[in-house]
Amino acid sequence: MNDKRSMTYNEVKRYLAKTTGGHHTKQYSDTNVAQVKQEIHSKQR
């Protein structure tokens, strides 16, 4: 049996946002901006 699965348009956009650092894809990002800022500032001290 050949189980081919296609991605939806939104799944493709989400995949590209997570794997390529795509532009204008912020809505699909799961990055916690506050956490990243906190980590950056804690390393600078």
Supply the pLDDT for residue 43. Answer: 83
Q: Is residue 37 part of a domain?
A: yes
Range(s) of the domain holding residue 18 = 9-44
Domain tally for the chain?
1
In a domain? residue 15: yes
Tens of pLDDT along 8-20?
998 888 888 788 7
Write down the residue that tokens 């296609």 correspond to: 6
Q: Is residue 2 part of a domain?
A: no
Cα–Cα distance list, 22 to 2, 10, 27, 31, 34 (Å): 31, 13, 11, 13, 20
Answer yes or no: is 1 within a domain: no
Question: Distance between CA atoms of 13 and 29, rounded to whole angstroms?
Answer: 10
In a domain, 21, yes or no: yes
* Burial grade of 22 (CB within 10 A; 0-12, 13-18, 19 or more): middle
Please tell me which residue, 12 or 4, carries the higher pLDDT value.
12
